[in-house]
Structure 1
Amino acid sequence: MDGQQVERILHNPKFKEMVAKKRNLSWTLTAIMLIVYVGFMLLVGYNKEFLMSSFDGGVTTWGIPLGLGIIVLSFVLSGIYSFIANNFLDKLTQEAMREVEAITHDKGAN
């Protein structure tokens, strides 16, 4: 593959769309997880009393369901990524790859 083919691939609209959608999805889900996790850490650092308080005077404190919620959220976000990737992004990737293969075999046009 020469430099001209690489340039044609990088400027291909389908390839650009595929890269942009994957990047946006990944950064969005990463930001959600980061905000939740950092928020929990700030809560641990600055409001321990809330986390140590219990439901209606019971045994379970607020920290336990919040911590478990973060773990569950990570699985949910992974599932969301997998669902979107399998149902939408894979089709776009296949279309982009067909155009990339055409460019690398010098059959495709800009």
Structure 2
Amino acid sequence: MSTQQTPNAQSCDRIRSNPKFQDLARQRAVLAWSLSAVVLGVYYLFIMLVAFVPGWLHLPLYEGSNLTRGIPLGAAIIILSWLLTAWYVRSANTRFDRLSAQILEEAQA
């Protein structure tokens, strides 16, 4: 077997050894794990409310209201998830794409 690498393998090795690539991978991982932790924490807290103080969720939003506290709380959780997803997409389409383009340019040179 030959120990020579193909040009594609050499390019991949140059990219992996690039400090900018390592920084990009670290930034993406930190952001993804942080946002995941926030979402999981919020959902976990909601489930804890359902489990331990369900009566609080059944209380009306205000005096004379047919809307309970649980409805806007559930909607807020869904909206928070959308906003965090939008934050990740925006980061991926701006900062991460810019870094990726720089890394690819350097790998081609």
TM-score with structure 2 setting the length: 0.82
Partner of 2:46: 40
After superposition, the C-alpha distances for 1:60-89 in whole angstroms (9 at most, x for unaligned) are: 111000101111111111111111111211
Aligned length: 102
Residue 8 of structure 1: CA displacement? 4.1
- The answer on whether the counterparts of 2:21 and 2:103 sit within 8 Å (CA) in structure 1 is yes
The sequence identity of aligned pairs, in percent, is 35
Which residue identity lines up with residue 104 of structure 2 in the other structure?
M
Local SS of the residue matching 2:67: coil
RMSD of the TM alignment (CA)?
Answer: 2.0
Partner of 1:107: none
Which whole-Å CA distance do the structure 2 matches of 1:93 and 1:33 have between them?
A: 27
Runs of 4+ in 1 over 6 A off after TM superposition: none
Residue 2 of structure 1: CA displacement? 3.3
Equivalent position to 2:93, from 75, 80, 86: 86
What are structure 1's unaligned runs of at least 5 residues? Answer: 103-110
Which whole-Å CA distance do the structure 2 matches of 1:55 and 1:14 have between them?
A: 50
Partner of 1:52: 58
Alignment of 1:8-87 (within 5 A): 8-57=14-63, 58-87=65-94
- The answer on whether the counterparts of 1:51 and 1:62 sit within 8 Å (CA) in structure 2 is yes
TM-score with structure 1 setting the length: 0.81
Which whole-Å CA distance do the structure 1 matches of 2:99 and 2:45 have between them?
A: 35
Matched, 1:2 2:2: no
Which residue identity lines up with residue 5 of structure 2 in the other structure?
D
Which whole-Å CA distance do the structure 2 matches of 1:88 and 1:78 have between them?
A: 15
